[in-house]
Structure 1
Amino acid sequence: MTEPRLKQVQCLDNRGLHRMAYWQWGDPSNRRVLICVHGLSRQGRDFDTLAQALSETYRVVCPDVVGRGQSDWLAEPAGYTIPGYVADMVTLLARLDAEQLDWVGTSMGGLIGLGLAALPGSPLRRLVLNDVGPAIEYSSLQRIGTYLGAPAHWATVDEAADALWAISQSFGPHSREQWLAMTRPQLKPDGAGFKPHYDPAIAVPFRMITPELARGGEAMLWHAYDQLRLPTLLLRGADSDLLSHATALAMTQRGPRAQLVEFAGVGHAPTLIQPEQVRAVSEFLLAA
């Protein structure tokens, strides 16, 4: 497998500067750019399969959102919020100097894309929201909160893969080889073994979300969604506990009237590794 190039960009926060890493596939001079942004506790290498499939057409850029992967950790955990991530992506877009820009966002990465797409003058041309929308089921947030930021240490990659699979079976069927490939970038060396790649402090603002805050956030996200006019593809795991079928249907009827594709036997969230998932994204992005 061809390896991506690891690059970085300096971004501003209220304590100074932090470094955001990003993985780049394809011709670095290609001004047709696809940004792929991962979920809450993941990192940019999640998109290796999709990026390889599209790297002949696009320069594919897969950031490690701050606090994850190869990026810096913030000095102030309160900075781990969607508006802060959107600001980082604006800095990244300036660095990339793209003429044409499309976006694929899984879960949190979809919310970042939604926030960016709703900005006046947004450069986004096409948007893929992977198993996320304005209304997020609170019970799913509670489930994620049971493991997010919890201390962990694994002696081997295989032990880590088993532990991560125990909390990730909603991703749907994967071969052992596929799951090991997804697991390795999730790990950081820790003494004689490994620990999760992300800053445990990303859980601090996450755990402050109450049902009341969630409802307020939902209203703001629907307002942002209703402003969108760009072609939008909505992917959903048919068994998702985060994006309800009712919310997905509503997203096809308001705002950009998203095209909906659901994947049987998958919950939250499709990993965009399986051929039918890669095909759905590729056909939508290349349709124009």
Structure 2
Amino acid sequence: MSFSENHYLSQDGLKLYYREYGSGESACPIICLSGLTRSSLDFHDVAERYSKERKVYALDYRGRGKSDYDKDYKNYNPQVYLGDIFAFFTQKNIEKALFVGTSLGGLLTMAMAGLAKNFIAGAVLNDVGPEVDSAGSSRILDYVGKDARFATLEAAAAKQKEIYGGAYPDMPDADWIGQAKTTFVYDDAAKNYRLNYDLALGKALAEQINSSEQVDLWPFFKALADVPTLAIRGALSDVLSAAVFERMKTENPNLQTLVLNNRGHVPLLNEPEALAVLDDFIARVR
């Protein structure tokens, strides 16, 4: 394998999984933070590409992938995730890193900038900003936590294409099989493929979205003003609106931006246009 599989301990004793790629230390490491229901699997190709001269770490949040599930669903919240990330930095003795955050991972990156900017050497915000469009949040709330199961990966891929095809209109069928492999895991007991996260996440998300206590993330985003930051938007995104993306440019004149056609939420970061920009941006963050 091109990576090692490891665990670290959260402050409340959960074993949390991460992948470690590369061994070089001529540049700061990259920390890959996935979307809400996603895992380290999403970053395999990105991690291999950029691990030639620096280490790349891809983390599974609690309740996702190969990390422990939390017995208390209320701990599936951004404040706890941030605590887990801080624990990772402490245990790995990382002083500064380049954050690549997709969706929730980008929200956590912005929060880190507001709370502990000293850890951030640079940031890539993949289809996420300080405001989440209501259309996207409603769509996400509708599917998170639903127990979808399939007899085969091919059946799972077909359903994924049916549901999310609008976000990837030009993606070939073979790539949908790849998406199924990063979304579902085989359940030995049930003899079928299940979603690769704790379904209790749906209950946690519903309570957070419906809470009257919403955090204004614009001040956190503005904290990135003097940090090299690349913001990527899928032109078809229902999570990061064009209006919010434009405001992000206004609030941070130093922000580097990229819009990817034929992509909704979220770009996969394997698009040729994305890789060309990422190659240049990441090379400049030491």
Q: Which residue is equivalent to 2:32?
A: 36
Q: 1:61 aligns with which of 57, 61, 65?
A: 57
Q: 1:181 aligns with which of 178, 182, 191?
A: 178
Q: What is the CA–CA distance in structure 1 between the aligned matches of 2:24 and 2:18, rounded to whole Å?
A: 13
Are the equivalent residues in 2 in contact too, given 1:32–1:58 (CA < 8 A)? yes
Aligned pair 1:237/2:257, yes or no? no
Matches within 5 A, 1:105-254: 105-120=101-116, 122-172=118-168, 173-190=170-187, 191-210=190-209, 213=212, 216-217=214-215, 219=216, 221-228=217-224, 229-254=226-251
Query: Residue deviations 1:252-284, cap 9 Å, x none?
Result: 121474211000111111011222222222211
User: How many correspondences in the alignment?
Assistant: 281
Q: Structure 2: which amino acid aligns with 1:252?
A: K
Are the equivalent residues in 2 in contact too, given 1:24–1:60 (CA < 8 A)? yes
Are the equivalent residues in 2 in contact too, given 1:170–1:268 (CA < 8 A)? no
Q: What is the CA–CA distance in structure 2 between the aligned matches of 1:92 and 1:69, rounded to whole Å?
A: 17
Query: Residue deviations 1:127-160, cap 9 Å, x none?
Result: 0000001111112111112211111211011111
Q: What is the CA–CA distance in structure 1 between the aligned matches of 2:179 and 2:43, rounded to whole Å?
A: 9
Deviation, structure 1 residue 167? 2.7
Are the equivalent residues in 2 in contact too, given 1:170–1:269 (CA < 8 A)? no
Deviation, structure 1 residue 171? 4.0
Are the equivalent residues in 2 in contact too, given 1:238–1:262 (CA < 8 A)? yes
TM-score (norm 1): 0.90
Q: What is the CA–CA distance in structure 2 between the aligned matches of 1:227 and 1:74, rounded to whole Å?
A: 31
Q: What is the CA–CA distance in structure 2 between the aligned matches of 1:259 and 1:26, rounded to whole Å?
A: 27
Are the equivalent residues in 1 in contact too, given 2:89–2:95 (CA < 8 A)? no
Are the equivalent residues in 2 in contact too, given 1:127–1:231 (CA < 8 A)? yes
Q: 1:74 to 1:130 in 2, by over 3 A?
A: same
Query: Residue deviations 1:27-70, cap 9 Å, x none?
Result: 17677210111111111110111111111022111111111100
Unaligned runs of 5+ in 2: none
Q: Structure 2: which amino acid aligns with 1:67?
A: G
Are the equivalent residues in 2 in contact too, given 1:129–1:232 (CA < 8 A)? yes
Q: 1:36 to 1:170 in 2, by over 3 A?
A: farther
Query: Residue deviations 1:202-238, cap 9 Å, x none?
Result: 1112112457748x32x2x012112222111100001
Deviation, structure 1 residue 187? 1.9
Are the equivalent residues in 1 in contact too, given 2:24–2:54 (CA < 8 A)? no
Query: Residue deviations 1:143-189, cap 9 Å, x none?
Result: 11221111121101111122223333244233333332232132222
Q: Structure 2: which amino acid aligns with 1:237?
A: G
**SS state at 2:251 partner:** coil
Q: Structure 2: which amino acid aligns with 1:103?
A: F
Task: Give the CA RMSD over aligned residues.
Answer: 2.0
Are the equivalent residues in 1 in contact too, given 2:60–2:66 (CA < 8 A)? yes
Are the equivalent residues in 2 in contact too, given 1:137–1:242 (CA < 8 A)? yes
Q: What is the CA–CA distance in structure 2 between the aligned matches of 1:29 and 1:284, rounded to whole Å?
A: 18
Aligned pair 1:19/2:19, yes or no? no
Q: Which residue is equivalent to 2:87?
A: 91
Q: 2:272 aligns with which of 275, 278, 282?
A: 275
Unaligned runs of 5+ in 1: none
